[in-house]
Structures are given as C-alpha cells and as structure tokens.
Amino acid sequence: MEIVTVPCLSDNYAYLVKAPDGVCLIDAPEAGPIIEALESRGWELDTLLITHHHHDHVGGVAELRERYGCTVVGPKAEEAKLPPLDTAVDGGDTLQVAGTPVEVIFVPGHTLGHVAFHFPDAQAVFTADSLMALGCGRIFEGTPDMMWESLSKLIALPPETLVCSGHEYTSANARFALTIEPGNEALKLRSDAIAKARTEGRATATCKLSEELATNPFLRPASPEIRDRLGMNDAPDAAVFAEVRARKDSF
C-alpha cells in the first residue's frame, strides 16, 4: 500500500492510502490540494475517513463527496457535529476499506469523540490530533486522564507502526521536548533531523511508533529524568503526563 502525505491549509495534513481495491483519504482539511494529489496520480477517491469534528479536518468533505461520490465514515460520538456520514463508527469496530481492514481506535481527549484509524496491513495508524509527532493534541474537550488512556491504547500498537499525525507542529514540539528531557540523546538526534528536514521543506508529521516511544515526552512519563525534573518521582504515570501537558500549554 502507498501512503501519500498531502499538505493542507497552513499546517494540516491529509493522507491518501492506495489500498488493494481503491483509494481512501484520512481527513479533509480542504479539497483543493487533495484533488490535485488524486488527479496527478490518476486516482479516484472511494472512502473518506474522518477522525474528529474540527473544521480544519472536515472543511473539504462536501466538495470531495460531490466530486467523487466517496463514502464518508466518521465517529458516531461526533455524528451531530460532522458533515453527513454514510457510516458512523465506534472504537473497536473493524471496517473493510478499499480491500484492506481498518481498525477504529477510540482516542478521546482533544475532542470527546476523536478516533484513530489503524491499517494493520500497511503497518500505519492515522492519529490526527491525538498522538502527534513528538507531542499530543491540546486537550480541548476531555481530561488529562482521558488523553493518557487514549495514548496508552496507541502505545500498545506494534512498535514498527508508522504514526501519521495531523499537523506540522514537530519543530515546536521538539523545542519543548528538550526542556522536559534534555539528557535524551535520541531526542537530540531527532531534533537535529527535524530541523534539517524542515529547512529542506520536508514534512515531519510521520514517524515510527518506536521512535515516538524513545523521544516523545508525552509517551515517557516513566522516564527517570522526566520525573526528576518535574519533582514527581513517585507520581502515577497519568499525573506525570498531565504535568507535561500543562507545561506544553504554557510553553
């Protein structure tokens, strides 16, 4: 399967997946760049998967549906806030999309009904604004405990899974991460690589889960360095996560 990252708006990403029996799209921030990516490859759009209701992830849905007649799938918990859905899904559901299985993972926190889409055959998960490259989404509607539980589900995926997130926030996330765990050598190397990639105009919002586990402070509340710097050596993981998230909010 082929995955194509499509830059949209100022810092959003949509993702096209060329599967055995068609093409699907994860999120539609705006239609124009997605149509251009499809047309340049001679692809038609069969299925559109929506992760959550924020406008910068659904702004292009109506135009894409009208143009391609694609099936629109989204979280049942946010159905009232979304463009009309052909299929509403819950966490734990497994779909057949363009000839490949897609597992729906319920990851509330950023919004109350946010879902991620795991493509096991492609070894990829599309996380939008839940788990992000070197970060996690701001908690707008949920609670820190809710977000930590959601991230814990994603942590449990195979480490070789490619995490495809929804925004180009990685440079800022790297700067923050280095204030939380400055002794992490893997993080230093990744930060340098991110700076080089951005200088060259390359996207940095996708990364193997194994690298996130080694460098993303939001996934590392067990790190002795992080706990020591926060003065939370004996705190539960969820409490350490909540403190890291609070610090990022004011960074």
Whether 55 has a binding-site annotation, put simply, is no
Pairing relation of β-strands 87-89 and 71-75? parallel
CA 113 to chain centre: 14
Whether 53 has a binding-site annotation, put simply, is no
Q: Which residue bears the tokens 């610090």?
A: 247
Residue 1 tokens read as 């399967």
Pairing relation of β-strands 71-75 and 47-49? parallel
Question: Exposed, middle or buried by CB within 10 Å (0-12, 13-18, 19+), for 13?
Answer: buried
Question: Exposed, middle or buried by CB within 10 Å (0-12, 13-18, 19+), for 230?
Answer: middle
Check: CB of residue 90 under 8 Å from CB of residue 106: yes
Q: For residue 158, what are the contacts with CB-CB under 8 A and spacing of at least 6? A: 123, 209
Whether 114 has a binding-site annotation, put simply, is no
Q: Which residue bears the tokens 């889409």?
A: 117
> What sign does the dihedral 96-136-79-16 (CA atoms) show?
negative
- φ/ψ (deg, to 5) at 156: -75, -5
Residue 140 tokens read as 């707008």
The SS3 of residue 163 is: strand
Mark the binding-site residues, compressed into ranges: 52, 54, 56-57, 110, 129, 167
Binding residues for Zn(2+): 52, 54, 56-57, 110, 129, 167
